[in-house]
Structure 1
Amino acid sequence: MKVTAYDYHLPKEQIAQSPLELRAACKLMVLSRTDQSIVHSRFDDIKSYLKSGDLLVINNTKVVPAKLLLYRDKTLGKIDALLVSKEGSGNELWRVILSKRKGMEPGTVLLSEKKELTAVIKSLIDDEYLIEFIDTTGESLSESIKEIGFAPLPPYIKRKDKNTEKAFKNKDKTDYQTVFARFDGSIAAPTAGMHFTPDLIQELKNFGVEFVEITHHIGKGTFKPIKSDEIENHHMDKEYFEIDDISADKINKAKLAGRRVITVGTSSTRALETACIDPVKGLIAPGKAWTGLFVTDGYKYKVIDAIITNFHLPKSTNLVMTCVFGGKEYILKAYNEAVAQKYRFYSYGDAMFLS
């Protein structure tokens, strides 16, 4: 199918630049595949649309401050560097996406602002640079970035200049995270989970909703744009996930008892669908694995019964995935309704509950 079939118009002013102070006070669009209804509500009223016995699957991955501000050794030109993944277990050799390519030849030396880090470009592999980092403090890069790194905000969240970005540094690190984040590993947040607060989670538990944690580390594949004309030609980068025995057992018991399994976010959805071992009953296997699942037209969901998600970018893999679950015409109608009703979009935006 043509990628243009998954397009819609969004005014720039509706792209949320920061979360609401009260996260659960965001808008919630409630959709039902059964009657094709569109209901406008608030996220803190989501209990009204859940049932006692529902099981919510949340992603406990933690976003690492994987964005660095680096400077050319001689010209001092500023360069954004996004750490994608570490290569091997020896030297601090990392795959990195740089905001500039001009002059970034092998041997080029980059420095952090206070020169704690020296980065030497080794090679270019597709759209990623292989860079060796040398930390003058003696710490590993994974430790150093906790102090000097920035939250890897998506490019549509703008900070006017580097001074503004520095002023927002610690706030962004807190904002671009869920309250149940536990395990370092993501370079993008599981944003559907950011609407939950400790109070709301407790309220839902008291109501009889069960929460189950899995870990799915989100990489660049989640936000990689579809550049091919036909969506089937898009290559989805693999991402790592873990589902332990206890979580898998709880999910399987819910499926066998006829209770709804509701994923919070597309990352949790991809993990569960990949882990499925019984498509008829919707049962999954525990384990540690990589998923390159790209849900496209014709895919039959096996495990999930409903999904809580944000409003995604036009022509994105996450929008395609949502359309496959809810029906393309219905979902795009809902998106256009959200635009008309001034919903806030993308990572810091409003939410959708689709059942």
Structure 2
Amino acid sequence: MTTRDMPADVVLFGTLTDPELLEIVLGDVAISQPVVLENHQVFTAAGESFPLLLPRDGVQAHGLLLEQLSHEQVARLDYYEAPYGYALEPVVLAGGREAQVYRPSDNQFEAAAPWELSVWQDQIGAMTREAAHEIMGLFGRITMDDLLRRLGPIRARAQARVNAKTDNIPVALRQSEGRDAVSLTSIRRPYSQFFAVDELDLSHPRFDGGTNQVERAVFIAVDASVILPYDPVRDTVMLIEQFRPAPYVRGDMNPWMLEAVAGRIDGGETPEESAHRETQEEVGLSLKELLSVANYYPSPGAFSEYLYCFLGLADIPDSAAGHGGLASEGEDIRSLVIPFETLMGAVRSGEVQNGPLLICALYLERERDRLRKAATDA
């Protein structure tokens, strides 16, 4: 047996000490035992959610020792840890036992607060496990460079699956039996980049008591926040205009669309956090308050995209209009500040062709008097 093929002992001190996540990454249950590393502590990486193991005199880091891992299991761990800049290094445990531990290979991260497994599990554990299923499904199929490009969409898709499970949606008019009544025979993913496509063979109960067997293709998008900024004192809104490839492909003679501010909900974000971030990134506005307009599937027959729509109350001076967007994401955004009545004129004329903006505009039309009175009284 060569050194490369010999069983390995690996020590984990961070997210992979979560039993569910570890089983997903390894593809199996490992032989393990608790372990302590003297003069070390686990911190949260500054500006991130993942942990760092760093030397600190007089304290102990508590972790998990995985024993006799196969070459395949170590390769799976390497694949999962590499995007974070982690690589295995030798470590000597209490009693002189030798093992390997993952550390940042380039020291690019600074330490923030001490990292706690229970806090991580409560905040983003579910999303991380969902993402790990998709990441490890790509093990051995794509390069690390390709994986790095896909991590953002993978985590956003994972967050969408978590939202779908945890959103408290009423069921009063629907008579369906729920998700458990659907039987999935097979699922294939022929395409996965920024978006993904799933091909499904499934059956579900019919309303007449029978069973419907169908083949369906679903375009996998992510959850997104939509925000219409509104200034109740000036009675103005901020819209954006940008080129959209889908209308262009359809043959639209003017593929520049009037829209509300919008953007995907990243992994680990709430819809509200995404709304504040996107509004700042796209148009440079800080919102005072978010009012929920509606949450919905724009086209559930073929798209998994789910939108959280908000009215965002803000100060919007005329000088707020301009150009924005993130160059790193290829965004070219024109923002414009217009009176409420101008917006509704564009709605009535048909110039507003964007569904989320239409919904937000109609909500504002309904609530406008109340919001203006509250702003005046304040």
Greater relative contact order (Cα 8 A, min sep 6): structure 1 or 2?
1
TM-score (norm 2): 0.24
Of structures 1 and 2, the larger Rg is shown by 2
Return the structure number with greater strand share. 2
